[in-house]
Amino acid sequence: MIVVGTHNGRFHADEVLACALLTEIKPHIKIIRTRNPEQLKVCDIVVDVGGVYDPGILRFDHHQKNCKETFNENIKIPLSSAGMVYKHFGIIFIENFIENIMKEEMNSAIVSEVYNELYYKMFQEVDANDNGVFVVSNESEIKYNYTQFLHYGQLINAMNGNVSNEVEQYFNFMKAVDFAKTVLNIQLKHVYNGVKIYYNDLDNFLEDVKNSKENILVMTKIYPVWQKYLSDLSKGKIPFYNSNFKFTVYPRNEELTEWGFGTLPVPGCKFKNQVDLLSQQELLKLLENPEDLIFVHKNLFCGSSKTLKTSVEACKLSFDFNGKVKLEESIVKKVLTDYGIWDWIKSFINYFI
């Protein structure tokens, strides 16, 4: 029997998630909750308490001032106990899942990708929140990421209840661990399947990129991870990128009887459109076959029609009416900035407003 020690009192998302991961890879464990150094000393693994981070002796606390461990050199967020345990045991957890649950052959490239992706999807927010930092600096992104964490973190916090009795606290803690195990396994399966699809569809997607014209990326089949492709393309992780893409067109079913279309977001700001679509009312007046239009979202970022042709036409019309205006505005702004006039105009306007 392996004994895992963590602190008593109110529990938090980080040690709950850490213990959930440990129970997945080491099913026959006993968890004790204490801050007593003598009791912690005899534990096989200690999580979120004890003042020591040393994976060699299976100690995973992050509260000491000199602890600045991160998941990798590209991430500045300090690890909480959850990230620490995942960094040490994550590969084992993923390999056990592939071998025993999925019963599939091991692929080192997929394991490595899943390892990194699962950290971003599940552990990074927990690490950031427990250490009091934000994942991103952009204000709208901060709100989005923080809300994503709250879906998980607040539920864990609520499971504490209003109890002070140690027996009841322990019972609630183990319920939280079971909940975290469920979430963790759902997320792992989602990430694993997504990574497999990513590699399986990549060549077809790149062919569609190559064949797309002007500023509209036309996808000839359903790509479940197309947003991940676009993100990696823009970051240079995979070759061939047309930086002029403003819109996407894609089939919404395998029968090709409905085609979605949408505008791409401004890089680094997922809720701001590069170019707004025209409204449904505007498109109905301008399309060659308006009867094919199905809908346009009120926030002007996506829509659908019955045919590929109409979806492409909707994007072209939107760029003609909205995109070119933005382009012309940006050119004028650049010229005025180059001549030192832009800041003067802004000051002038602000003075009278």
Are both 297 and 179 inside the same structural domain? Answer: no
What would the DSSP string read from start to end of 197-230? Answer: HHHHHHHHHHHHHHH--TTEEE-SS--TTHHHHH
Task: Give which of 184, 192, 116 is closest to 156, Cα–Cα.
Answer: 184
Are both 88 and 53 inside the same structural domain? Answer: yes
Are both 189 and 218 inside the same structural domain? Answer: no
Q: How far is CA 143 from the centre of its chain?
A: 13
Domain that holds residue 237: 212-352
- Looking at residue 340, what is its pLDDT? 65
Domain boundary among 172, 197, 222: 197
Are both 347 and 224 inside the same structural domain? Answer: yes
Compute φ and ψ for 33, nearest 5 degrees: -115, 110
- Looking at residue 346, what is its pLDDT? 55
Q: How many CA atoms lie within 13 A of 325 on its CB side?
A: 9
Are both 173 and 286 inside the same structural domain? Answer: no
Domains in the chain, number? 2
Q: Where do we find the tokens 């699809």?
A: 197
Q: Give the amino acid at 246.
A: K
* Inside any domain, residue 224: yes
- Looking at residue 343, what is its pLDDT? 65
- Looking at residue 186, what is its pLDDT? 94
- Looking at residue 159, what is its pLDDT? 93
Give the mean pLDDT per block of 10 residues along the chain (353 residues). 95 96 92 96 97 96 91 92 97 96 92 95 91 65 46 84 89 96 95 93 92 92 90 74 82 96 85 91 96 96 97 95 58 54 58 47
Q: Is the pTM of this model over 0.95?
A: no
Residue 276 token pair:
């707004």
Domain boundary among 165, 197, 229: 197
Task: Give which of 181, 139, 146, 192 is closest to 16, Cα–Cα.
Answer: 181
As a whole number of angstroms, the distance between CA 35 and CA 5 comes to: 9
Are both 192 and 217 inside the same structural domain? Answer: no
Q: Give the amino acid at 337.
A: T
Are both 188 and 156 inside the same structural domain? Answer: yes
Are both 10 and 156 inside the same structural domain? Answer: yes
Domain boundary among 197, 220, 236: 197
Are both 62 and 162 inside the same structural domain? Answer: yes
Give long-range contacts, CB 8 A cutoff, 24+ apart: 331-335: none
Are both 86 and 168 inside the same structural domain? Answer: yes
